[in-house]
Amino acid sequence: MENIDIGQLNEEIREKSAFLGLIQQEIGKSIIGQKYMTERLMIALLCQGHILLEGLPGLAKTLAIKSLADAISVKFSRIQFTPDLLPADIVGTMIYNQAKGSFEVRKGPVFANFLLADEINRAPAKVQSALLQAMQERMITIGDTTYPLQEPFMVMATQNPIEQEGTYPLPEAQVDRFMLKVKISYPEYEEERQIIRQNLLDESPKINAVVEASSILSARKLVKRIYMDEKIEKYILDIVFASRQPEKFKLNGLQNLISFGASPRASISLAMASKAYAFMRNRGFVIPEDVRAVCYDVLRHRIGITYEAEAENLNSDAIIGQIISKIEVP
């Protein structure tokens, strides 16, 4: 592995991570509390990843994403997912131009830097799958032509808990393409008091664009340079492989609770998210605490649970907790 001057890297990170504070300051004008959610949005932004926010209606998921887009000088699109939505409503379609006697491409809202897929699980799988090519390959095919999407490109989706009426479960292939799945909870008592007061004011706070897209792209390159020791790599692999082969890690009780383990995308995402977490703390190297801090958000949607686990009221978070407690920390 190449020699890395950690001191110099730390200095460079301090200089190039300053924009994160500006973004958080702007988001803080409209979002009270929810620090965990805004931090995870930053991680996805730094890692060129997509993020799925899950929570009950009214928890400011949409507002947080819109505020993030407003704070950065990028093109923003929003799609409200409904049961009658069609794939062409997302990616675009061919329109016949009668005057020219030929077909023309009308690009859909996916052609933006930040795409908000609001209540994504209220549309059927056919529509949700329209995003797959954009999320994985960052390009869209309409007719015979494939169009690249402009960087930075990021899908930020919200969904209601699957128990809510009128929701469809997302296909596993699509869920796996979200780098993070973040669960949003209710605000604290005093935070909600401030929310009430803010919403009773005459004017809504104005969020200014304080960061250029170039700063995001530059920071992404720096995040990849953050040092990750082989022991940390082994720690990440042990966690992921324990979800696939729990018996090899003396987690015999999990064999009947896991229907499928985390994919290779989980290993990549866990490594990248750990580096981004270190970057946000002005550190040029990854420590085990960084891995554990992002582990639940990276893995919870990538581990399938069996009916037996559901019968015991266990979810993927409980299984991840057992894995983390058993895997040896470097």
CATH of 226-326, one of 1.20.910.10, 1.10.8.80, 3.40.50.970, 3.20.20.140: 1.10.8.80
Q: Do domains 15-214 and 226-326 have the same CATH topology?
A: no
Q: Can you list the alpha helix ranges (DSSP code H) found in the chain?
A: 6-16, 18-30, 35-46, 61-70, 88-91, 125-128, 132-137, 172-175, 189-199, 213-225, 230-244, 264-280, 288-299, 307-311, 316-326
Summarised one tens digit per residue, pLDDT across range 121-151 is: 888 777 877 788 888 889 888 888 888 998 8
Whether the Cβ atoms of residue 92 and residue 108 lie closer than 8 Å to each other: yes
Summarised one tens digit per residue, pLDDT across range 250-267 is: 888 888 899 899 999 999
Residue 288, pLDDT > 90, answer yes
- CATH 1.10.540.10 describes domain 15-214: no
Altogether, the residues listed in the chain come to a count of: 330
Choose among 263, 248, 239, 265: nearest CA to 319.
Answer: 239
pLDDT at 132: 83
Domain ranges (residues) in the chain: 15-214, 226-326
Choose among 37, 28, 26: nearest CA to 73.
Answer: 26
Q: Report pTM.
A: 0.87
Where in 71-204 does DSSP place strands (E)? 72-73, 76-80, 92-97, 102-107, 114-118, 139-142, 145-148, 154-159, 180-183
Place of tokens 């009430």: 196
Strands 145-148 and 139-142: antiparallel
How many C-beta neighbours within 10 Å does residue 292 have?
A: 17
How many C-beta neighbours within 10 Å does residue 90 have?
A: 22
Residue 316, pLDDT > 50, answer yes
Choose among 220, 246, 205: nearest CA to 47.
Answer: 220
| Encoded tokens for 230 | 């082989």
